[in-house]
Amino acid sequence: MDDITSQSLLSGLPENCPTHTWKSFKQLETAASEVYNKLQENEDNGNQYLVVRGLTNYAIEHFLDDKTILGGIGFRLWYERSVGLMKIIE
């Protein structure tokens, strides 16, 4: 974990929760799509979280301002410093 605060943000997540290092919106859209598709295949059962490390302030602002930024995949974002936790939703 990055620090004590990110540990609290990430506590209780499933072991199979994917973790990505921030590179681009497109890369994260692909990762979110994988989580979303697995949820659909399993009738909304299973992991619906995605951990993102290395988020920039620019990226965080765009995620908070534009809920369509992941190609129409719904999400909620919580973050502490540069660590984000996304919940993929319909």
Tell which residue, 66, 51, 65, 53, has the closest CA to residue 18: 51
**Residue 12 to residue 7: CA distance in whole angstroms:** 10
47: pLDDT confidence band, cut at 50, 70 and 90?
Answer: confident
Q: What are the start-end ranges of the H helices in the chain?
A: 4-10, 25-41, 57-65
How many CB atoms within 10 Å of residue 59? Answer: 21
Above 90 in pLDDT, residue 8?
no
Above 60 in pLDDT, residue 61?
yes
Tokens matching residue 60: 């965080």
- CATH assignment of 18-89, given 3.40.50, 1.10.10, 2.40.160, 3.30.1370? 3.30.1370
| Average pLDDT score over residue span 7-25 | 88
How many CB atoms within 10 Å of residue 51? Answer: 18
Considering only CA atoms, give the Rg of the chain. 12
